[in-house]
Structure 1
Amino acid sequence: MKGVLLVNLGSPNSTSVKDVKKYLGEFLMDKRVIDLPYISRFLLVKGIILNTRPKKSAEAYKKIWWKEGSPLIVLSERLLKKVQQETDLPVELAMRYGNPSIKNGIEKLANQGITEILLIPLYPQFAMATTETIVVLANKIVEKHFSHIKLTHLPAFYNNESYIKVLSNSIKKELDILQPEHLLFSYHGVPERHIKKSDITKSHCKIDNSCCNTPSEAHKFCYRHQCYETTKLVAKQLNLKENTFSTSFQSRLGRDPWLQPYTDQTIDKFAKNGIKNLAVVTPAFVSDCLETLEEIGIEAKHSFIQNGGKHFATIPCLNDNNQWAKTLSKWINNWNSKN
């Protein structure tokens, strides 16, 4: 019997400093998020970050928290309900960090007699710190606790025709209202070393202006290439004119080089260069969360206005968009019929 597990990033249980600290500890101690040797990672996270960042992060969460709880959790649950209505297979929801856990999600399916699970990381683009960490952990849990279950996972869908169409339609709906001068595609940032570590050829990724456009098997696991490809495909679908859109990367941590250009610097530059009406879309996320609602929707907007801009809009993620739910369900049903 088959079942499906949708997996998103996760969230603290509340906006209390204690809960945020617990969540950040689990998140940042993941060796695929901060890829330092354990001792170095422990000293950095436990000794420095968790003594300084939780209070600030808790304040940020308070700005975007809903009455029902964490926006990411609430939106993921809404999506889950819609997907469940479109398929006959049992579908459960889990988070990589926090609750409900991946183990809990697998256990729920196992208790229903499920022996084969399709794992769907809710990330369009592959990255060590997103898709890979979900798949690796899920496989470990199955091997240790549910050895009778066969686990497969949906690969990155950044260039899937159905996904691009749904994403483009959701963006177009907002653009028709906003009529911005420029559309910025802001993706979550990762350290440059993550790109090179994910290069299965060990030679292709140079993070220059050519490697992402040069065909290679490395692209299957190259987050940078997949982000730019998503932008390119959406721009083509929407017939966006050259120089009216661009790509940037947000949320960097530490002093090591991360993917550039940086979103905060790009937005400030637009304002200083005379752009008055800017829209930002965040296609690395399928659900609105702290990074989209607070970092972009509040902080970036404030900075844009402060530097001379006038109109700033954050285009919502796909969230529980009906067509997105139907697309996910179609993938699930196709998997079910082919196996």
Structure 2
Amino acid sequence: MGGPQKIEHVHDYLNQIMTDRDMIQLPFAQDHLGPWIAKRRTPEVQKKYQEIGGGSPILKWTNTQGELLCKRLDHVSPNTAPHKHYVAFRYVPPYTKDAFEELERDNVARAVIFSQYPQYSCATSGSSFNAIYTHFKDRNLPNGLRLSVIDRWPTHPLLVKCFADLIRKELAQINKEKRNNVIILFSAHSLPLKTVNRGDSYPSEVGATVQLVMEELGFCNPYQLVWQSKVGPLPWLGPFTDEAIKDYVKKGKKNFVIVPIAFVNEHIETLHELDIEYCKELAHEVGVEEIRRVPAPNDHPLFIEALTSIVHNHLQNKVTVGEKFLNRCPHCTNANCYHSKKWFSEVCNH
């Protein structure tokens, strides 16, 4: 999705999210209700960005990850070198169109569309892929350009090892007497239940990541998958992260490690929602004894190796687009999704 780099970009960012039906389905009059919600929420969200330094670091981290990935790829896959990364955000520059215009100017022969959401959701990855289809709907692909898709990677062994390593380091900071009783809360962005019931694979893919990370850790601690960042009036997937902390404390469980299991770099939902709202304010309010937040993967060496391994294997593989990606949710009614997947099937297998 990207994130506003400056306070004055917040309203436009929110407005684009709230009017994008691939991202959020409001109960009625989205073209009017969406802008109203964006305008109403802007001052509150601007205040949050001010509290984390005045803007989102997501572009900085994405570029860092892209540069490190390409450097490693040049080394491990010299036959496909040189490699270059392009960032395509949904709601802030560089937009999808910016990335593809730059790619065309560079006369790129092969482009891998690599979703940076490890777990696929129609609202996140799906929305981004639909934006690529929309960009090319009324124009041809550049001559000679071949496209392929990496749409999800929730169970990649190096992603699992990276999260496990980050968790071990936080647990090691906790007093030995408390350590084994610390509850590991794996927190991921929630989804509206309407989206889940449509058949979205995101909850099961996040659950798969959690299970493998705990297996890597030898199931060393009690753990729970929880959900954050609910927006709007509709029912969303729970239990919610903040409510889980409150109720665990009532049960006498007062020590936690929070893991942002679906985020690959720091942004407002880690730096403000988890760090300030939950680990600082809520923890103080309800009487938490100790709470630590695991960093996002960012530039962790195992994470860069995970990205490198995924792209390298993809370049060696003849499969250009996965069947799971091309198959729509059983209750999907989004015509844009139908046309998008049909387009990817045609251009990636051309």
The answer to whether TM tops 0.5 is yes
Counterparts of 2:307 and 2:283, CA distance in 1 = 35
The answer as to 2:9 corresponding to 1:13 is no
Contact in 2 for aligned 1:13/1:99 (Cα 8 Å): no
| Equivalent position amino acid for 1:338 in 2 | N
Q: How does 1:91-130 map to 2 (within 5 A)?
A: 91-130=85-124
Counterparts of 1:85 and 1:144, CA distance in 2 = 35
Task: Give the stretch that moved more between structures: 101-110 or 168-177.
Answer: 168-177
The answer as to 2:137 corresponding to 1:158 is no
2:293 corresponding residue in structure 1: 314
Shift of 1:172: 2.0
Shift of 1:24: 0.5
2:308 corresponding residue in structure 1: 329
Shift of 1:145: 4.1
Unaligned runs of 5+ in 2: 74-80, 319-350
Shift of 1:101: 0.9
1:182 corresponding residue in structure 2: 183
Counterparts of 1:36 and 1:256, CA distance in 2 = 8
How many pairs does the alignment contain? Answer: 302
Shift of 1:94: 2.2
Counterparts of 1:34 and 1:281, CA distance in 2 = 25
Counterparts of 2:99 and 2:19, CA distance in 1 = 22
After superposition, the Cα gap between the structure-2 partners of 1:186 and 1:304, relative to the gap in structure 1 and judged at 3 Å, is: same
Counterparts of 2:249 and 2:218, CA distance in 1 = 24
Q: Secondary structure at the match of 2:172?
A: helix
* TM-superposition CA deviations, 1:106-159 (whole Å, max 9, x none): 222222211331111111111121110111111222343452333322121112
Counterparts of 1:74 and 1:121, CA distance in 2 = 17
Counterparts of 1:119 and 1:331, CA distance in 2 = 12
* TM-superposition CA deviations, 1:250-302 (whole Å, max 9, x none): 11122321101111100111223322321100111111111111011100121
After superposition, the Cα gap between the structure-2 partners of 1:333 and 1:146, relative to the gap in structure 1 and judged at 3 Å, is: farther
| Equivalent position amino acid for 1:29 in 2 | T
The answer as to 2:23 corresponding to 1:33 is yes
Q: Secondary structure at the match of 2:107?
A: coil
- Aligned sequence identity (%): 25
Counterparts of 2:63 and 2:2, CA distance in 1 = 12
Q: How does 1:1-339 map to 2 (within 5 A)?
A: 9-16=1-8, 19-36=9-26, 40-47=29-36, 49-65=37-53, 70-87=56-73, 88=81, 89-148=83-142, 149-178=145-174, 179=179, 181-197=182-198, 199=199, 221-241=200-220, 244-301=222-279, 302-339=281-318
Counterparts of 1:121 and 1:12, CA distance in 2 = 20
Counterparts of 2:275 and 2:140, CA distance in 1 = 41
Contact in 1 for aligned 2:70/2:85 (Cα 8 Å): yes
Shift of 1:177: 2.3
Counterparts of 2:312 and 2:119, CA distance in 1 = 22
| Equivalent position amino acid for 1:159 in 2 | T
Contact in 2 for aligned 1:305/1:311 (Cα 8 Å): no
**Superposition RMSD in Å:** 1.9
* TM-superposition CA deviations, 1:181-239 (whole Å, max 9, x none): 11100110010111122x2xxxxxxxxxxxxxxxxxxxxx5111112221111111101
| Equivalent position amino acid for 2:40 in 1 | T
Shift of 1:324: 1.0
Contact in 2 for aligned 1:10/1:98 (Cα 8 Å): yes
Shift of 1:162: 2.7
Shift of 1:57: 0.1
| Equivalent position amino acid for 1:84 in 2 | C
Q: Secondary structure at the match of 1:318?
A: coil
Q: Secondary structure at the match of 1:93?
A: coil
* TM-superposition CA deviations, 1:31-84 (whole Å, max 9, x none): 1121248x711121113x123100000000111126xx5221221121122112
| Equivalent position amino acid for 1:28 in 2 | M
Contact in 2 for aligned 1:64/1:71 (Cα 8 Å): no
What TM-score do the two structures reach when normalised by structure 1? 0.83
Contact in 2 for aligned 1:272/1:308 (Cα 8 Å): no
Contact in 2 for aligned 1:32/1:128 (Cα 8 Å): yes
* TM-superposition CA deviations, 1:277-330 (whole Å, max 9, x none): 211001111111111110111001211221011222111111121221122122
Contact in 2 for aligned 1:274/1:308 (Cα 8 Å): no
After superposition, the Cα gap between the structure-2 partners of 1:59 and 1:118, relative to the gap in structure 1 and judged at 3 Å, is: same
Counterparts of 1:99 and 1:159, CA distance in 2 = 30
